[in-house]
Amino acid sequence: MDTQSAIVDLLSSLGQQVSLSKSDLDLHGQSESYFPPSPPDAVVYPETTAQVAEIVTICARHRVPVVAWGTGTSLEGQAQAIQGGVVVDFTRMNRVVDVAQADMTARVQPGVTREALNEELRATGLFFPVDPGANASLGGMASTRASGTTAVRYGTMRDNVLGLEAVTAAGEVIRTGTRARKSASGYDLTGLLVGAEGTLGLITELTLRLSGQPEAISAAVCAFETVTDAVETVIDTIQCGLPMARIELMDTDSVCAVNGYSDMQLPEKPHLLLEFHGTKAGVAEQAETFGDIATDHNGSGFDWATRPEARTALWTMRHNAYYAILAARPGARAIVTDICVPISKLAEAIEATRADLVDAGVPGPILGHVGDGNFHAILLVDTNDPTELSRAKAAADRMVERALALGGTATGEHGIGVGKLGYMTREHGAGWTMMGALKKALDPQDILNPGKLVPPRT
Amino acid sequence: MDTQSAIVDLLSSLGQQVSLSKSDLDLHGQSESYFPPSPPDAVVYPETTAQVAEIVTICARHRVPVVAWGTGTSLEGQAQAIQGGVVVDFTRMNRVVDVAQADMTARVQPGVTREALNEELRATGLFFPVDPGANASLGGMASTRASGTTAVRYGTMRDNVLGLEAVTAAGEVIRTGTRARKSASGYDLTGLLVGAEGTLGLITELTLRLSGQPEAISAAVCAFETVTDAVETVIDTIQCGLPMARIELMDTDSVCAVNGYSDMQLPEKPHLLLEFHGTKAGVAEQAETFGDIATDHNGSGFDWATRPEARTALWTMRHNAYYAILAARPGARAIVTDICVPISKLAEAIEATRADLVDAGVPGPILGHVGDGNFHAILLVDTNDPTELSRAKAAADRMVERALALGGTATGEHGIGVGKLGYMTREHGAGWTMMGALKKALDPQDILNPGKLVPPRT
């Protein structure tokens, strides 16, 4: 690795687009999580795919790590340059290249954020449904295989990326997928790059599948006596084919936190928050069918509304729940867990997590995308107290062990980065070795986001 | 390659499960298409994953090709042992391992056919929606990334396989995915094996996503003056978010063929055939909304029915359309094309194909899964007439060129096999080289279905 020569070449080739300022390096060494900072040696702001190819070519020549950066909102340290090297910040590649209305597709540069895209789509009758909490970049969302509250209806990034343009470890530009809605032509390279966290290539353009803005939307909220009642309601709802657009769980601790933070008066019980998309008659029918199912499972206070203000208040509360929970313990930092299990095991997984956290003395309100079997316990930790931090980490480990034992995964939507690397052997066995072989084939010098996702190069 | 030594080892290890009979070899040298027969050197009928691993280990030791075989219904010669070697026939691995009703998943062995699975699911209220024309095996459907008439609503095999067990080229058993509905953990190995046509591993078990049997189903049929009118109806229908379960196009030639074959009296015009799934009120609303849109585009004779007999008659006619078309020219064989384009280009692609086929003097009725932009021209060819065969092949080539020029793909659902290998460079460019690198990493000896899908090994 010859970082200084790479920087010389980058400066000569990209001039003002290369930043070596300490504040910039420090900023790009941060993450949203509790991982230690790891500033890169340089940050480069490309404006074109050709410049990205040039950056990677230079880094390849000098065997210097290249790490892609969108908005820096990933939760497992995916964008941290843990072996130093060059961060490629896609902020300036933030153009919606085109929107094909009849095809319901859009081509975007990787730095476009999901909110910016939806702003641009507003007048078209279309929208891009995937919504992780943060206003993340679409390149970053693809790289981490992000999802969020709407995945139960619209799928994750895996389902909503039709094709990609990417720069390989050799600095070559490839195009994957097409603008057609399906293809049986060869290996699914699009699917391979989605979720690869920048370890196989740098995404320089995305072709996204868009959805039609629904004619009508209704939102609903319902309280339950127990988490099990709420989860059984979800299972019955899915089984009878109700196409919920969102179905979110908040446990009692989460409800208490949002009541205080968002000035709500929800009963201090587990709640489901829902949204239905469809025709006017359709959403009314869906909401009423759901109400009947909830009543069968001791649901109470069921209420649904189609007024936009009521919906906005509900989902603002939900999207702020993370901050509400953080505010519930001033000074604490969060370890955000992310397990996903078969839905039949969801109540068991949540109840066991709850009991374990009580035993461990770690506060951990639970929120979940329960239609997918995915939930987060937000472990609130005083990171200055090493024994507390280690108790919390041990509880997070046990959550993952439990998820895997129940047939689930260590991460439903946050990805691996550095935070979940330790679970890969346990989850994938020989499959993890296969991932290492794929990485070696496509990035023989190990320059693309090294130290992430695959086994350490021996 | 030492085929005789491999056969000796297979006989010693698997005895009666190894067949060397000429009739068996000949049977497994056939395909559904016009490719020349290529009998393997042996056929093995494993009953367990361990036996599949043993077969691959033996073949790897002697560098002998291994080709997976489901029902032999693939259309591009995917299961043909074109370099000889051993065909692994999964007929005896035909057990539904379990059905998890609450999770809406099933684990099946690869030899289970889609109809057998749906028979087994009948009492559960669940079904497996992917329906290529043939009663294919689920292992084969995954390997070719199959789809069919319901993909517009339920997706393709890419969307309905949650996880796999597979035997690698080294004879190792790996498990990909989990039983959870989503995961952000590492490379999508499931997605990589789906559509890989047995070139990266042999699928020995699948975890499938199931869907709820809808409460109500309505089917509809509607005639149009032109293909463009029909396609514009489809575009408007999708844009307004109508969740059609099926939306199929038959052009005038196809309608004439099915009228003759299935004793129907459809007007000799392009038709759309539709199916809606939902609640009783929902399907009525969907059918009526569709009727309004069709009327705006000169649709006529719109009729919808919820009676099962009427629906069965309609879809039996559709599923028999291939045979109806074949019967329209006795003695002819079919070259079945399979392009898929962005839906805004669909009318243009169909009209250009129609004009081209008339010019070329090749009969070619057109059928399509138009909600996905995917259609087939069934070229009827006297294969004993070499000039006619070459005219038909040239027309099929032009169809693909047109699809690629319009931003589409050479194959929406039939895959590559040997039939579409010639289009890979044109469609994928440097991506095809990347596919070759992946193949080399996972199958360094090139024993898994060699000669298919990836560039020839140099």
Residues in chain A: 458
Query: Measured between CA atoms, how close is A431 to chain B, in angstroms?
Result: 6
Q: Are B124 and B99 in contact (CB under 8 A)?
A: yes
Q: B180 to chain A: which residues are within 8 Å by CB?
A: 340-342, 372-374, 403, 407-409, 412
Residue B297 domain flag: yes
Selecting from B180, B194, B434 the residue whose C-beta is nearest the C-beta of A409 gives B180
Q: With an 8 Å Cβ cutoff, is A422 touching chain B?
A: no
Q: Are residues A352 and A247 in the same domain?
A: no
Predicted confidence pLDDT, tens digits, chain A (458 residues):
899 999 999 999 999 999 999 999 999 999 888 788 999 999 999 999 999 999 999 999 999 999 999 999 999 999 999 999 999 999 999 999 999 999 999 999 999 999 999 999 999 999 999 999 899 999 999 999 999 999 999 999 999 999 999 999 999 999 999 999 999 999 999 999 999 999 999 999 999 999 999 889 999 999 999 999 999 999 999 888 888 999 999 999 999 999 999 888 999 999 999 999 988 888 898 899 999 999 999 999 888 877 888 888 888 899 899 999 999 999 998 999 999 999 999 999 999 999 999 999 999 999 999 999 999 999 999 989 999 999 999 999 999 999 999 999 999 999 999 999 999 999 999 999 999 999 999 999 999 999 999 999 87
Residue A12 sits in which domain range?
Answer: 3-91
Q: Are residues B197 and B107 in the same domain?
A: yes
Q: Are residues B275 and B175 in the same domain?
A: no
Q: With an 8 Å Cβ cutoff, is B214 touching chain A?
A: yes
- Which CATH number characterizes residue A115's domain? 3.30.465.10
Q: Are residues B316 and B346 in the same domain?
A: no
Residue B39 domain flag: yes
Q: With an 8 Å Cβ cutoff, is A407 touching chain B?
A: yes
Query: Measured between CA atoms, how close is A342 to chain B, in angstroms?
Result: 4
Q: Are residues B318 and B221 in the same domain?
A: yes
Residue B440 domain flag: no
Q: Which helix (H) or strand (E) holds B389?
A: helix B386-405
Q: B440 to chain A: which residues are within 8 Å by CB?
A: 441
Q: Are residues A399 and A337 in the same domain?
A: yes
CB contact under 8 A, A181 and B340: yes
Q: Are residues B262 and B301 in the same domain?
A: yes
Residue B441 domain flag: no
Q: With an 8 Å Cβ cutoff, is B236 touching chain A?
A: no
Q: Are residues B116 and B201 in the same domain?
A: yes
- Which CATH number characterizes residue B412's domain? 3.30.70.2740
- Which CATH number characterizes residue A31's domain? 3.30.43.10
CB contact under 8 A, A414 and B184: yes
Mutation pick from A185, A210, A283 vs chain B, by most beta carbons of B within 10 Å, is A185
Query: Measured between CA atoms, how close is A291 to chain B, in angstroms?
Result: 16
User: Which residues, 6 or more positions from B285, have their beta carbon under 8 angstroms from its beta carbon?
Assistant: A279, A281, A282
Domain termination site, one of B33, B59, B91: B91
Residue B444 domain flag: no
Name the domain count of chain B: 4
Q: Are residues A81 and A10 in the same domain?
A: yes
Q: A146 to chain B: which residues are within 8 Å by CB?
A: 184
Domain termination site, one of A176, A195, A212: A212
Q: Are residues B187 and B139 in the same domain?
A: yes
- Look up the ipTM and state it: 0.96
Q: Which of residues 339-358 of A touch B (CB under 8 A)?
A: 340-344
Separation between Cα atoms, residue A84 and residue A39, nearest integer Å? 7
Q: Are residues A198 and A273 in the same domain?
A: no
Separation between Cα atoms, residue A138 and residue A204, nearest integer Å? 10
- Which CATH number characterizes residue B274's domain? 3.30.70.2190
Query: Measured between CA atoms, how close is A214 to chain B, in angstroms?
Result: 7
- Per-position b or e across B243-252, b if 16+ CB within 10 A of its CB: bbbbbbbbbb
Selecting from A188, A343, A442 the residue whose C-beta is nearest the C-beta of B192 gives A188
Mutation pick from A165, A178, A288 vs chain B, by most beta carbons of B within 10 Å, is A178
Residue B286 domain flag: yes
Q: Which of residues 285-304 of B touch A (CB under 8 A)?
A: 285, 289
Domain termination site, one of A167, A191, A212: A212
Q: With an 8 Å Cβ cutoff, is B182 touching chain A?
A: yes
pLDDT digits (tens, 9 = 90+) for B170-183: 999 999 999 999 99
Q: Are A125 and A79 in contact (CB under 8 A)?
A: no
CB contact under 8 A, B178 and A427: yes
Q: Six-digit token pair at B111?
A: 């030899």
Q: Are residues A186 and A158 in the same domain?
A: yes
User: Which DSSP category does B197 fall into?
Assistant: T
